[in-house]
Amino acid sequence: MKVIIIGGGIIGLGSAYYLQQAGYSVTVVDRTDMLQGCSYGNAGYVCPATLCRSLLPALYGRASNGC
């Protein structure tokens, strides 16, 4: 079976890897050369300390109106 993945970021490439390991024929398509953007700069890692507190009210015990 053939699969096309749109986006060559860490999620797209990770998905491509495991699909290929499972026997699929995979093609990754990206609008760039994949040498820029978030996945190139930090391998797709998003530091939890940089998230808005308003997104994690349970963690902080209350909701916040800003970051």
3-state secondary structure 17-38: HHHHHCCCEEEEECCCCCCCCH
Half-sphere exposure of 65 (CA within 13 A, CB side): 0
Average model confidence (pLDDT) across the chain: 74
**Does the pLDDT of residue 19 top 90, yes or no?**
yes
Per cent of the chain over pLDDT 90 is: 30
Average pLDDT over residues 9-37: 87
Average pLDDT over residues 42-48: 59
Q: What is the pLDDT of residue 10?
A: 77
User: Is residue 14 very low, low, confident or very high in pLDDT (cuts 50, 70, 90)?
Assistant: confident
Q: Which residue has the higher pLDDT, 44 or 11?
A: 11
